[in-house]
Amino acid sequence: MPKFEGKVAFITGASAGVGAATAHRFAKEGASVSLIARRKEQGEQIVAEIENIGGRAIFSQVDVTDADGVEAAVARTIEMFGSLDIGVNNAAILGAFAPIMEMDDANWLDVLNVNLNGVFFAMRAEARAMQASGGSIINVASVNAFMGSPGAAAYATSKHAILGLARSACQEFAPFNIRINTVCPGLIDTDMQRDIATRVAGEDAASFEHPLIARIPLGRMSSADEITSAIAWLASDDASYVTGSTITPDGGLMA
């Protein structure tokens, strides 16, 4: 039997990268998936791809900073599929690169609003839906949760905060049999990573990436699918005694 047969997963930031890969992974392993993102065309395309392989999926165009919209998307998920078992809170933005002394208020607030408030709103809505039957919530942070990031202080701050949020939530959610954990990836071969490299180095993006890759003991970036494997394990019954923990699939970077 597929690992997630009969389960329902709610995934934010699901229109690309790790979010899209997670939606495909869960669907292939039997879950019904509810995709949440701002980009409608991409989200609907992923739903079509899942349906083409016989999976069940829906898409809601929702900005995670809209708490009411997130609650409505969770309610729609339950209406369509009957329950909610897994939450993956992946939506995030990088924001504009700027030194702290030059960073404008709007950039700071935008990044924290999406990366931290968005995780909180989704996590809260998911937990409310799981109170009666339990479940597993996975927040996606970054290795920037453990170190500073000059020029991207808002991003690093938001990722640090996600760890504190999950560690607090695990104690509150445990009586309801809701597990909550955090995945902190290193460099991932995604559009966001390419955007970072292009913003820093322009056409010579490789000059920015090569020194970073050289610091990784395994000598390469991860694929989105490799990060999804960590998410899927935490969501599964194989991780039934794991909560309040952090997994760092980073190729050894933090070592």
Distance CA 120, CA 140 (A): 12
Q: Where are the domains of the chain?
A: 8-187+223-247
List CB contacts of 151: < 8 A, sequence separation 6 or more: 97, 98, 99
Contacts of range 213-218, beta carbons closer than 8 Å, 24 or more positions apart: 213/187, 215/253, 216/186, 216/187, 216/250, 216/251, 216/252, 216/253, 217/251, 217/252, 217/253, 217/255, 218/251, 218/252
Distance CA 238, CA 255 (A): 26
- For residues 227 and 131, the answer to whether their CB atoms sit within 8 Å is no
Residue 241 vs residues 9, 170, 200, 245: alpha-carbon distances, Å:
20, 12, 41, 10
pTM of the model: 0.92
Q: Which of 26, 108, 121, 155 is catalytic?
A: 155
**Amino acid identity for residue 182 in this structure:** T
241 given a catalytic annotation: no
Q: Are 213 and 13 in contact (CB under 8 A)?
A: no
CATH code of the domain made up of 8-187+223-247? 3.40.50.720
Distance CA 169, CA 75 (A): 21
CA-based nearest residue to 162, from 192, 187, 190, 182 = 182
- Cα 58-63-65 angle, rounded to 5 deg: 135
Sign of CA pseudo-dihedral 62, 65, 70, 72? negative
Rounded distance, CA 18 to CA 32, Å?
Answer: 17
**Per-residue pLDDT of the chain in tens (255 residues, 90 and over written 9):** 579 999 999 999 999 999 999 999 999 999 999 999 999 999 999 999 999 999 999 999 999 999 999 999 999 999 999 999 999 999 999 998 899 999 999 999 999 999 999 999 999 999 999 999 999 999 999 999 999 888 889 999 999 999 999 999 999 999 999 999 999 999 888 766 666 655 555 555 555 566 778 888 998 888 999 999 999 999 999 999 999 999 999 999 998
- Around 173, how many Cα atoms within 13 Å sit in the side-chain half-sphere? 29
Distances (CA, A) of 117 to 8, 101, 214: 23, 23, 34
| 44: exposed, middle or buried (Cβ count in 10 Å: 0-12, 13-18, 19+) | middle
